[in-house]
Amino acid sequence: MAWLLVILAGLLETGFAVCLKLSDGFSRIVPTIGFAVFALGSFGLLTQALRRLEVGPAYAVWTGIGAAGTVLFGMLFLDESSSPVKILSVSLIVAGVVGLNLSGATH
């Protein structure tokens, strides 16, 4: 259950990063409110998950989902550039998070 909270928190991190971009320096109200809601939700879920998980692996998964999700969302929906190097780099983030967890660091 704790890992599900981390995954959901990571997805909300993607949401708050995208809303931060769309808020245009907090000058647009709806994305600014979205940023606040997603950020509070993300940190709240991560806080709950950290009651049962080690901070290192949980934080790595949270930031990995947030970083990879934000890059992919930007490329797919915000007309941000994509390149083989960018896609490879996102893949390396995901591989690093998976490798950290497979190394037994979460046990």
Average pLDDT of the chain? 94
State residue 92's pLDDT score: 95
How many helical (H) and strand (E) elements, i.e. helices and strands, does the chain have?
4, 0
Distances in whole angstroms, Cα of residue 90 to Cα of each of 4, 65, 73, 103: 21, 10, 12, 20
State residue 99's pLDDT score: 86
Burial annotation 5-14 (CB, 10 A radius, 16+ → b, else e):
bbebbbbbbb
pTM: 0.89
